[in-house]
Structures are given as structure tokens and as C-alpha cells.
């Protein structure tokens, strides 16, 4: 009896993979009735989301022995909701997932696989980054449970978390690292179109279905620019509509050592780009948190505006018709085609007729779209511009509920919109949980975290 009790304590402290839990808890791990609470002790922390933020937070928790469970499909947005063939705008050194000892960076991954890599100057392909994220998950977070969370409610002492198969677990704390998944934004002028005629760029991974069709892409940022270039590659009759009179492109980062010491001081490199302001955003999100709210909101709204990667310019300019300085006033379907009515900066009007419209218009955080959160939690959340108001430890006004990633950008700055911010979020939340669970954690040796390098990893 005593040995059983000790083993249960160990199982609660260390985030063993689900298959290990099922072996030693065969009854508790199998849901025998709809919405039955599993017969397991309350989990310390549940992480929802398995993208760069969720996986980095889990890797830190695991290394520091913080009890947790993590749910979600690994790198789902990257493997299913971004167009094949695109490249990341960020430089290689800022495209890591994070573990406390930097044991598995993108550079390490590319070296193992023989993939061309440079800290700057060589674009990181989507396929490379997604494969790296999947390999990181298997090495650093092997205990990921890929079931989807469909409900989170308040309960005595914490939360109840309902999974897609009906199992319900209890947790003291919940970390939401859901990324952009729920926040795609389609302008009002397009929202009334039937679904077969309009879609968001988030909905497209394989573009072959557009071969030979006419497509209008709305937007002037990296998503729109990458998308029109890739649509042109599959012989779609594509054109780009953007409200600004010109497209912006990032400058190619200079090779290491090519800058003078004075240039490096005046224009320092950072995970968000070059310049003192971007360096501040990238490296001092805690300081950003203490700026006046109005300044924070304006900075997040206006900084790092729409722009494409330096490598995308040649794929678009001169290859794709550009309709610049125009916004969509209204859209309608006539005779099986979309008629876009545009208003130009000079006051003139223009009309485009096309088979399909893709809104590459970005993402806007709106907590009302997190429908898995109970109405009680939604009502208890203090918000500003539909985003959560967070403490310096990422905690919302609902005690024990934390937000990381793009939902935290208004609190900690633009860096939380990029994978580069996952390291800061993981470190901060780890310190928070260590304080909250003082004396209740078990350090996990690195050898038990990192699987052998020759172990077969999942491919996309």
C-alpha cells in the first residue's frame, strides 16, 4: 500500500509520457464514461498549445521538474496552415525553440540533417522550421498529449480541463499558448461573401487547387507577399491588392563582421531586426510591461508593420500584378465570380473580377473566440482591446490562468508575436511556477529529457 502511494506521488510530480501513465494507471487513464473525471491527483499545470511557445514552456518545466501536462497537435499552424514553399522572415538565429541549456537549437538540427544554415543571410524554409519543431517536441517534450482541449472551467482549487474524447482532468493552473489559431482576421467588406469565394490565408497549405484559377490576395505583409509568389509558381492568375502605395521588404542582414563597431552600437542586431528600438523590444519585454498602457498599445499596433522578407521581392515584383493604394469597399458574387469594388488613395474607384479572394490580412486577438473557455472565465477576464491584461508573470485577472504568445503582446511588446519571444515566456513562467510550487518539484536530468540522437523522428 505504501509503495503504491509513493509511486502515485512520483507520477504526479514527473510529466511521464501518456503511454507510461497508462501502464501504471490502467484504469484511471481510460475514460469509461462521457465527461468522467480521471481518477488521478490534481495536475499542477496544464499547458494548452504545442507550437513554439507551448513546447518551449514545457521543455523548461520538464527540465526544472515542474509537474505539468501539455495538450495539442505539435506545430499545427506551421504544418497545416501555412503555404508549402514559403520561408520565414526572421533570421536563423531567432528561429529557435527553447530549452534551458540550448541543447537543441535550429542550428543543431540543421547540422544533424545536413541542411544549409546561417545565423543570418540564408532564409529558413517553412519545411525546415516545422520539421525542427517536430524533432524538438520528440526530444524535449516526449510526454505531449495530442488530444485537443474543448473546455476549461473554474473548479474548487483550480480548473477542470475537458479533452476531445470526454476525459476531464483537474489542474491548479492553466497556461494558454494557443498561438494564432483562433484569431484570423477577415475585413468586414469581405466577411459577407460565401465561404467558397473567400478564405483566410491561414486556411491554405497546399496551393495546387488554385492552379489555372484567378485569385485576388488582399494584404501587404509577409503572408500576402509570400502567398502571391507561391500562387504564381503554381500558375494561378493572381494579383495582389494592398492599401499602401508601395510594398515594404526587410533588408538582408549583413554578414557577421561586416559592420564596424560603431555601426553595431548604433544599429544593433536583435531577434526582431536591426536598431536600438527593436533591440529594446526583443531583449527587455519586462521593461516594456511597465510602460503606460496607452503607449504599449500604440507601440504594438504600429511597430513592425506589414513587410515581406528580402528574399520574396524577386518572386513578386515584376511577376505579379500589383494593385497598390487601394482598399476594398465592398464585394459581391455575380455569375459565379467575385466582384471587388476598390477605393484608391486618389479617390478613384476600381473593380476587380476574380474566382476567389484570399484575405492575407493577419490576426487580431479576441478572447471571445476562445470558445473552450467557460462563460465564467470569460466574464472574469480583464481585457483591453479584446486582449488579456496580464501581470508581469503572464497571469490574467483569473487567478491561475496564464497567457503566452500573441495574446500577451499588448502586455510585453511585439516580441511576443514572434517565435523569438518564446524563450522569454518560458523563462518567466518557469520562475513563476517554481515560486508557486516551492518544494513540490523534482528536477529531471538532461539525459531523461533528450532522447538518443539516432532515434527516428516524426516527419511531416
Give pLDDT tens digits for 89-114: 999 999 999 999 999 999 999 999 99
Would the pLDDT of 440 be above 70?
no
Would the pLDDT of 1 be above 90?
no
Among candidates 125, 317, 321, which has minimal Cα distance to 217?
Answer: 321
Give pLDDT, residue 7.
45
Return mean pLDDT, the chain: 88
Question: Rounded to whole angstroms, what are the CA distances from 12 to 8, 16, 63, 126, 170?
Answer: 6, 9, 15, 37, 12
Mean pLDDT in residue range 250-258: 70
Q: Higher pLDDT residue, 195 or 30?
A: 195
Cα distance between residue 407 and residue 384, in whole Å? 11
Give pLDDT, residue 436.
86
Give pLDDT, residue 31.
37
Mean pLDDT in residue range 247-271: 78
CB under 8 Å to 414, separation ≥6 — which residues? 272, 281, 299, 300, 303, 304
pLDDT tens-digit series, residues 377-411: 999 999 999 999 999 999 999 999 999 999 999 99
Domains of the chain by range and CATH?
2-182+364-449 (3.50.50.60), 188-249+307-359 (3.50.50.60)
> pLDDT class for 455, splitting at 50, 70, 90?
very low
Give pLDDT, residue 36.
55
Give pLDDT, residue 235.
97
> pLDDT class for 375, splitting at 50, 70, 90?
very high
Give pLDDT, residue 23.
41
pLDDT tens-digit series, residues 11-30: 444 444 444 444 444 333 33
> pLDDT class for 256, splitting at 50, 70, 90?
low
Would the pLDDT of 458 be above 70?
no
Nine-digit cell string for 248:
515594404
| 215 DSSP β-pair partners | 238, 356
Under 8 Å between Cβ of 270 and 278:
yes
Among candidates 351, 346, 347, which has minimal Cα distance to 330?
Answer: 351
Q: Higher pLDDT residue, 380 or 7?
A: 380
Under 8 Å between Cβ of 50 and 76:
yes
pLDDT tens-digit series, residues 294-313: 999 999 999 998 999 999 99
Give pLDDT, residue 16.
47
pLDDT tens-digit series, residues 38-65: 556 789 999 999 999 999 999 999 999 9
Give pLDDT, residue 265.
81
Would the pLDDT of 181 be above 50?
yes
Give pLDDT, residue 451.
40
SS (H, E, C) the chain: CHHHHHHHHHHHHCCCCHHHHHHHCCCCCCCCCCCCECCCCCEEEEEECCCHHHHHHHHHHHHCCCCEEEECCCCHHHHHCCCCCCEECCCHHHCCCCCCCCCCCHHHHHHHHCCCCCCCCCCEEHHHHHHHHHHHHHHHCCCCECCCEEEEEEECCEEEEEECCCCEEEEEEEEECCCCCCCECCCHHHHCCCCCCEEEHHHCCCCHHHCCCEEEEECCCHHHHHHHHHHHHCCCEEEEEECCCCCCECCCCCCCCCCCHHHHHHCCEECCEECHHHHHHHHCHHHHHCCCHHHHHHHHHHCCCCCECHHHHHHHCCCCCEEECEEEEEEEEECCEEEEEEEECCCCEEEEEECEEEECCCECCCHHHCCCECHHHHHHCCEECCEECCCCCCECCCCCEEECCHHHHHHHCHHHHCHHHHHHHHHHHHHHHHHHCCCCCCCCCHHHHCCCCCCCCCCC
Mean pLDDT in residue range 60-72: 97
Q: Higher pLDDT residue, 221 or 6?
A: 221
Give pLDDT, residue 154.
97
Share of the chain above pLDDT 90, in %: 78
Amino acid at each position: 500500500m505504501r509503495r503504491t502511494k509513493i509511486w502515485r506521488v512520483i507520477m504526479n510530480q514527473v510529466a511521464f509520457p501518456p503511454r507510461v501513465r497508462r501502464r501504471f494507471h490502467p484504469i484511471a487513464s481510460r475514460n469509461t464514461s462521457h465527461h468522467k473525471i480521471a481518477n488521478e491527483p490534481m495536475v499542477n499545470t496544464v499547458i494548452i498549445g504545442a507550437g513554439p511557445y507551448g513546447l518551449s514552456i514545457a521543455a523548461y518545466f520538464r527540465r526544472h521538474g515542474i509537474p505539468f501536462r501539455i495538450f495539442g497537435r505539435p506545430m499545427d499552424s506551421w504544418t497545416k496552415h501555412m503555404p508549402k514553399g514559403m520561408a520565414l522572415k526572421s533570421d536563423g538565429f531567432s528561429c529557435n525553440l527553447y530549452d534551458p541549456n540550448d541543447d537543441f537549437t535550429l542550428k543543431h538540427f540543421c547540422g544533424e540533417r545536413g541542411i544549409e544554415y546561417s545565423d543570418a543571410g540564408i532564409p529558413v524554409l517553412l519545411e525546415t522550421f516545422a520539421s525542427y519543431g517536430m524533432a524538438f517536441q520528440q526530444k524535449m517534450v516526449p510526454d505531449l498529449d495530442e488530444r485537443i482541449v474543448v473546455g476549461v472551467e473554474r473548479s474548487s482549487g483550480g480548473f477542470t480541463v475537458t479533452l476531445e474524447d470526454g476525459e476531464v482532468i483537474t489542474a491548479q493552473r492553466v497556461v494558454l499558448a494557443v498561438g494564432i489559431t483562433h484569431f484570423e482576421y477577415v475585413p468586414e467588406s469581405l466577411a459577407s461573401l460565401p465561404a467558397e469565394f473567400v478564405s483566410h490565408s491561414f486556411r491554405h497549405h497546399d496551393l495546387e487547387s488554385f492552379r489555372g484559377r484567378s485569385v485576388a490576395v488582399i494584404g501587404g505583409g509577409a503572408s500576402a507577399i509570400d502567398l502571391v509568389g507561391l500562387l504564381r509558381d503554381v500558375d494561378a492568375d493572381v494579383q495582389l491588392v494592398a492599401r499602401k502605395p508601395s510594398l515594404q521588404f526587410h533588408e538582408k542582414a549583413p554578414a557577421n563582421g561586416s559592420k564596424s563597431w560603431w555601426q553595431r552600437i548604433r544599429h544593433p542586431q536583435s531577434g526582431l531586426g536591426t536598431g536600438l528600438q527593436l533591440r529594446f523590444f526583443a531583449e527587455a519585454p519586462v521593461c516594456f510591461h511597465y510602460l503606460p498602457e496607452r503607449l504599449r498599445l500604440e507601440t504594438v499596433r504600429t511597430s513592425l508593420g506589414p513587410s515581406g522578407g528580402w528574399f520574396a521581392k524577386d518572386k513578386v515584383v515584376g511577376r505579379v500584378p500589383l494593385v497598390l493604394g487601394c482598399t476594398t469597399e465592398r464585394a459581391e458574387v455575380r455569375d459565379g465570380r467575385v466582384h471587388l469594388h476598390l477605393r484608391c488613395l486618389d479617390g478613384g474607384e476600381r473593380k476587380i473580377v476574380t474566382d476567389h479572394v484570399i484575405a492575407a490580412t493577419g490576426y487580431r486577438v479576441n478572447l471571445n473566440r476562445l470558445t473552450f473557455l467557460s462563460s465564467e472565465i470569460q466574464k472574469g477576464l480583464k481585457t483591453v482591446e479584446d486582449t488579456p491584461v496580464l501581470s508581469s508573470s503572464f497571469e490574467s485577472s483569473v487567478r491561475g490562468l496564464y497567457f503566452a504568445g500573441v495574446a500577451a503582446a499588448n502586455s510585453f511588446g511585439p516580441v511576443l508575436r514572434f517565435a523569438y519571444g518564446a524563450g522569454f515566456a518560458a523563462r518567466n513562467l518557469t520562475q513563476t511556477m517554481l515560486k508557486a510550487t516551492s518544494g513540490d518539484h523534482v528536477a529531471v536530468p538532461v539525459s531523461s529529457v533528450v532522447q538518443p540522437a539516432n532515434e527516428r523522428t516524426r516527419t511531416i
